[in-house]
Amino acid sequence: MARPLAHGDQMEDLIESVSKYDPAFKGRIVGASADEVTDFQKAVGQSLPTAYKTYLRHMGKNDGGLRVFEDCDHNVRHLWAYYREVANEHPAEPAAPEGCAVVAFRGKEVEEIYLGLGDKTDGPLYWGEDWSNFGQMATSFSKRLEGVALWYSQTSGPLSPFRMVSTVLLREPGRLLKQISRVALAQGFERLEFSDSFSFCGKLDDAVVMAHQWEKARCRLAVASGKKPRTDAIVRKLTKGFSASPNKAAIERSL
């Protein structure tokens, strides 16, 4: 099981591991001040999990390109302003579902990511669209962060070993994730500790796989290896019987 990133030394280890492949990473991340974290927690009205507060202190204003929350805005000052805006415009309505905090958003009332607040150390992640759709996306914030950091270090840094990347967005997320896990393990991929009910992280000598499910919405599969034919072959095996959703064709890039 991935250890919760509740202490600064654990977060420092994660930052060091990414910096091995991207030496400029440390210079890009921007943490939040203690006052900024406190202000945001006051706006939420409940205590934030320690793992998330540790993340905020190290990357609360810029995560250096990890894209922990994909394309959603996660800047702690913007989150604080978001809560203030909701309180001013809709004082009778909560900004997040009960027992959760908004930790990232993409446009007002478009798409939000929530962190569960039931545990003092860590918490699950959920997604929502205008409160009409709602689903889980990670069993813990720590697992999500460590999985994303692994993917970035293996594929995106200037010294990363795997340069050929294929990303596919598909529907039927739950059934696809089970297939990806089963087929990847049969192919010899090692299931890494960051995997959970909503993601599969696997590594083989010449390739790395990251599949991430947004419950009830979509599954994003990313595969990387040293050669394009190898990458394409893995994608075909893992997604056999499925197709990319309309207007969401496979995106391939050579870094």
Contact present, 98 and 90 (Cβ < 8 Å): no
Q: What mean pLDDT do residues 172-187 have?
A: 88
DSSP-assigned letters across all residues of 66-120: --TTTTSB--HHHHHHHHHHHHHH-TTS-SSSTTEEEEEEETTTTEEEEEE-SSS
Of 20-34, 71-85, 152-166, 239-253, the range with the lowest mean pLDDT is: 239-253
Condensed to tens digits (0 to 9), the pLDDT of residues 101-126 reads: 999 998 655 689 999 999 999 999 99
> What does the domain layout of the chain look like in residue ranges?
8-141, 161-245
SS (H, E, C) 15-28: HHHHHCCCCCHHHH
Hunting for tokens 């990806």 — which residue is that? 180
Determine the straight-line distance between the first and last CA of the chain, rounded to whole angstroms: 31
Q: Which helix (H) or strand (E) holds 151?
A: helix 141-155
Q: What is the pLDDT of residue 252?
A: 37
**Does the pLDDT of residue 54 top 60, yes or no?**
yes
Residue 247: is its pLDDT beyond 60?
Answer: no
164 in Cβ contact with 228 (< 8 Å)? yes
User: In this model, does residue 245 exceed pLDDT 60?
Assistant: no
CATH code given to domain 161-245: 3.30.310.50
The pLDDT > 90 percentage for the chain reads 56
pLDDT of residue 4: 56
- Is the domain defined by 8-141 classed in CATH 2.30.30.40? no
Q: Facing residues of 223 across strands?
A: 166, 209
